């Protein structure tokens, strides 16, 4: 979910260089998103108790993240508590880092309240992102819980789309240097070493396939096509760990 919220947080907090820190280091400890240029970090969590806040701040201080980030927000994906002990937080930060429980602990309602201060075009972009995340515009409006009646009218140019019921996932199983050597010999490939996306494309081409209905992430290949029914795809995966998931579940968890 942290990836899904990056475009929204970029827009609302004016952080054009915000990115997922797990791309820099897998399972980056303590925080999930960061803009090292503007020195702002986010922890994205579905846990809302004070202990989670204390643990996050303890890791932040222990890892000396304050040397890279001036501000930390704890973004809770579900409704946060009504209040958090500032005294308990101050015992952890001990003057090394400024963290205000009323300002730096936020949830979707706080995010949505900030949207109202944007230009209409920016609001439409944010609404589009929330539509993708929440799946239903009524769900996003319910998070607002406005104190006053909102007579505004929202319009959208979104078109309905459908996905297959299942997506197939398997561990990629190719040796880069072997693929590169074969591609240079058999495909007259002149390029140099590149990312995994290219290696997978080359591996498929070596099997005589131009199939592009796949995606690669975190060492795994995702496709709506059953690997067992597609010989070129099957040749570049670990056939012992093929599994499928309901599409809607994967889209929500991505």
Closest C-alpha among 214, 219, 209, 215 to residue 241: 219
The pLDDT of residue 145 is: 53
The pLDDT of residue 75 is: 94
The pLDDT of residue 185 is: 86
The pLDDT of residue 251 is: 42
191-206 residue pLDDT tens = 776 778 888 888 888 8
175 contacts 200 by C-beta, under 8 angstroms: no
The pLDDT of residue 55 is: 94
The pLDDT of residue 243 is: 60
Which segments of the chain have a pLDDT < 70?
1, 132-151, 193, 240-254
The pLDDT of residue 50 is: 94
Q: What tokens does 254 get?
A: 């991505």
Angstrom CA distances, 163 to 120, 166, 204, 251, stand at 31, 8, 24, 10
The pLDDT of residue 116 is: 78
CA-to-CA distance for 160 and 13, rounded, in angstroms?
A: 30
The pLDDT of residue 215 is: 86
pTM of the model: 0.50
Contacts of 8 (CB under 8 A, 6+ apart): 111, 126, 129, 130
151-163 residue pLDDT tens = 677 777 777 877 7
- Angle ∠(251,6,132) on CA atoms, nearest 5: 35
Helix (H, G, I), strand (E, B) or coil at 159: coil
The pLDDT of residue 249 is: 41
């Amino acid at each position: 979910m942290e990836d899904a919220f990056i475009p929204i947080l970029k827009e609302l907090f004016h952080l054009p260089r915000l990115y997922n820190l797990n791309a820099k280091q897998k399972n980056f400890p303590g925080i999930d998103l960061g803009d090292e240029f503007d020195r702002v970090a986010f922890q994205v969590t579905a846990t809302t108790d004070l202990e989670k806040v204390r643990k996050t701040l303890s890791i932040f201080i222990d890892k000396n993240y304050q040397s890279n980030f001036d501000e930390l927000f704890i973004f809770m994906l579900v409704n946060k508590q009504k209040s958090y002990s500032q005294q308990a937080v101050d015992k952890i930060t001990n003057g090394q880092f400024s963290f205000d429980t009323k300002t730096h602990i936020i949830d979707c309602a706080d995010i949505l309240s900030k949207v109202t201060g944007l230009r209409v075009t920016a609001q439409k972009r944010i609404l589009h992102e929330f539509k993708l995340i929440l799946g239903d515009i009524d769900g996003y409006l319910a998070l607002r819980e406005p104190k006053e009646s909102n007579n505004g009218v929202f319009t959208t140019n979104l078109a309905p789309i459908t996905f297959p019921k299942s997506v197939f996932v398997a561990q990629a199983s190719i040796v880069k240097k072997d693929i590169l050597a074969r591609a240079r010999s058999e495909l007259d490939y002149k390029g140099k070493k590149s990312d995994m996306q290219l290696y997978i494309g080359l591996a498929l081409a070596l099997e005589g396939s131009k199939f592009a209905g796949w995606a690669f992430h975190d060492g795994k290949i995702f496709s709506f096509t059953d690997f067992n029914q597609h010989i070129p795809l099957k040749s570049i995966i670990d056939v012992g760990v093929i599994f499928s998931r309901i599409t809607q579940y994967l889209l929500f968890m991505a």
